Amino acid sequence: MEGTPLFTFLYHYGLGGLLFLAGMLLAWRAGALEFSTRSQRVWVIVLLVGLLLYLAGHAFFQFFT
């Protein structure tokens, strides 16, 4: 499987996703994510949507072209 477009994609989003997740979890544990304020909730959504947009864009060109 190594060397296939799928493996490459999983490597990028697997390791990168771990870093992203670590950032979100560390922020939450440290209290930097205050879900009580609307602004902070919006930024969590923006971060997740941004990740999904990149993932969808890369997936489109990686698998459907």
In whole angstroms, the minimum distance from the beta carbon of 56 to another protein comes to: 11
Q: How many residues bind another protein (CB under 8 A)?
A: 41
| Positions in 41-60 near another protein (CB under 8 A) | 43, 46-47, 50-51, 53-54, 57-60
41, 35 Cβ separation under 8 angstroms: yes
Longest dimension (CA), the chain: 45
The token pair at 54 is 């990149």
Pick the closest to residue 47 from 14, 20, 16, 9 (CA basis): 20
Contact residues toward another protein (CB under 8 A) are 2-5, 7-9, 11-12, 15-17, 19-20, 23-24, 26-27, 30-34, 37-40, 43, 46-47, 50-51, 53-54, 57-62, 65
